[in-house]
Structure 1
Amino acid sequence: MFTSPWAVALSAIFIWWFSTGILLWRVRHADNRGPDAHMASVVLGLPLLFGGIFGFSNTLADISVSGVYLAFLSALAIWAWIELAFLSGVITGPNAGPCPRFSSEGERFLRAIGAIAWHESLLIVVLSGMALHAHGAANPFGLWTFLVLFIARISAKLNLFFGVPYINTEFLPSAISHIATYFRKSRMNGLFPLSVTFLTFATGCWVERALASADVGRAVGFWLLAALTALALLEHWFMVLRLQDQKLWRWMMPAPRDAAEPRPALSDEGRNGL
């Protein structure tokens, strides 16, 4: 049932939508209760991290359909905990302040890196550990899932730094609200066409590999990667097209405690970031 391309794609889309919604809901809920609730979320979420590590390790030799799905879910679980720690303001970077309005391009870049340095370092360490652990494994789809998420995130952050027309900060928690001052609104940047071209090409490569795979488990894995990469591509297009993607999760979000409190302003000139 869950081996046809459509079933695999719909499964990936549902997992992406549901897991994103749960993560945003938990962060908003903790935001309404205060800083201690954010730390509690990260600590209580540790089973998610450990479960992801356990699942990733124990599926490396299992190329069955269930093994591939579990590897995919395990990589998402590891990623989700790291994102929870970031959105909660627990693992971010040494720079916890907003970007000065008239900073030079180089200074803004360094400050933006400083705002997320520990988080990015953790992602690199985890990705490197997964790569070493999965070297030569029969089921590399957990590693490749994490790699797709990592590349798509780096691309998205760089595009936010250089400038895109539409930036959604509705779900940005107060713990990292200063991050919004590093975003830039502009008509377009030179990196965006390269980003969408690369993600489109990567999606096509995964589809080609899925169609060429004689093994059902490997085919399912490539279809999952194709769907995930296509979703990353769609999220990039949300930056330049006026689409209300936040409506996908807004209905499930609790009302913010300080709904009247304004978010940091985004400047077309000097406020940008990663």
Structure 2
Amino acid sequence: MSDAPWIAAVSAVFIWWFSTGAILLVVRLADRVGARAHLWATLAGLPLLIGGAALVMTSLDTHTTAGVYAAFVGALAIWGWIELAFLTGMVTGPMRDDCTPGLTGWARFERAFGTVAWHELALVLGLLTLVLASDGAVNRVALATYMVLFLARICAKLNLFFGVPRINTEFVPARLRHLTTYFRRGPVTAAFPLAITVLTVLFAVCAERLWTTDVPATATGFALLTALAGLALLEHWLMVVPLPDAKLWRWMLPRPNTDAESETTHGF
């Protein structure tokens, strides 16, 4: 494994792009096949979860460049399986209906949370597991990676709920189409500058640690985290800046199955 921080940063961007595209591809194919394809896709992805957990466990007491990469990839694998389970509709929430027209305030928030409650619980359980596993460990890159992803996801969901000018629904799977009725397209709210501030501080802290450390493994870890925080920050700016970010993955995905998307697929 190379100790060069720039290689680590480029690797983080590539892994993010490739893993996102791979998950979208699996979900799109499951949408096209229909029936129990979403369930089987989620079950087939279990080795990703198991392999990620194994990488994390083997990396906890190894503060080397290889150990840092293992921790980073392991955390992404765990996160990726939870996202796969969500996007296939297997782990979402008890609420599967569209938002009631005109619903506002706490009632709208409560109903919206009901659409993703089990997914949020799975993410929190993943975080707590990594917190416990990383207690006293010399290599906490897996925990840090997961925490960056967790913070970015919470900020993104809140902004989609409260309102942002640009919302890309092109890749929303067939089984999650009801979620789009809880999105709000409009002027930014206080949630946006708050999220940008938090993510900018996170990015700056990681970059500062990267700049000041002279330990190769530590530099690699903070290069990976800086790149990940930068991607999270970019993701939020794309909610207001009109750039064709969907082109990053559209070319590698099959066209959506219109018939499958029009079905009511609340069951298996």
Q: Bin the TM-score by the shorter chain.
A: over 0.9
Q: 1:260: Cα distance to partner?
A: 10
The corresponding residue for 2:238 is: 238
Does the CA-based 8 Å contact 2:93-2:118 persist in structure 1?
A: yes
Task: Give the 5 Å matches for 1:141-160.
Answer: 141-160=141-160
Does the CA-based 8 Å contact 2:53-2:74 persist in structure 1?
A: yes
State TM-score, norm by structure 1: 0.93
Secondary structure class of the residue paired with 2:194 = helix
The corresponding residue for 1:65 is: 65
From the superposition, tell whether residues 44 and 187 of structure 1 become closer, same or farther in structure 2 (CA, over 3 Å).
same
CA distance in 2, matches of 1:260, 1:151: 33
Does the CA-based 8 Å contact 1:13-1:228 persist in structure 2?
A: yes
CA distance in 1, matches of 2:55, 2:35: 31
The corresponding residue for 2:37 is: 37
State TM-score, norm by structure 2: 0.95
CA distance in 1, matches of 2:35, 2:230: 35
In structure 1, give the amino acid aligned to 2:206. Answer: W
Q: 1:189: Cα distance to partner?
A: 0.9
Task: Give the 5 Å matches for 1:1-274.
Answer: 2-258=2-258
Q: 1:5: Cα distance to partner?
A: 2.6
Does the CA-based 8 Å contact 1:35-1:175 persist in structure 2?
A: no
CA distance in 2, matches of 1:25, 1:261: 15
In structure 2, give the amino acid aligned to 1:253. Answer: L
CA distance in 2, matches of 1:260, 1:217: 47
In structure 1, give the amino acid aligned to 2:253. Answer: M
How many residue pairs get matched?
A: 263
CA distance in 1, matches of 2:35, 2:152: 29
- Deviations 1:20-53, CA, capped at 9 Å, x for gaps: 0001011001100004111000000000000001
CA distance in 2, matches of 1:204, 1:102: 40
- Deviations 1:200-253, CA, capped at 9 Å, x for gaps: 111110111112222111110011000000000000001001111000000011
Does the CA-based 8 Å contact 1:164-1:239 persist in structure 2?
A: yes
CA distance in 2, matches of 1:6, 1:259: 45
From the superposition, tell whether residues 178 and 197 of structure 1 become closer, same or farther in structure 2 (CA, over 3 Å).
same
Does the CA-based 8 Å contact 2:31-2:260 persist in structure 1?
A: no
In structure 1, give the amino acid aligned to 2:221. Answer: G
Secondary structure class of the residue paired with 1:254 = coil
Q: 1:261: Cα distance to partner?
A: 6.4
Secondary structure class of the residue paired with 2:36 = helix
The runs of at least 4 consecutive aligned structure 1 residues that moved more than 3 Å come to: 259-262
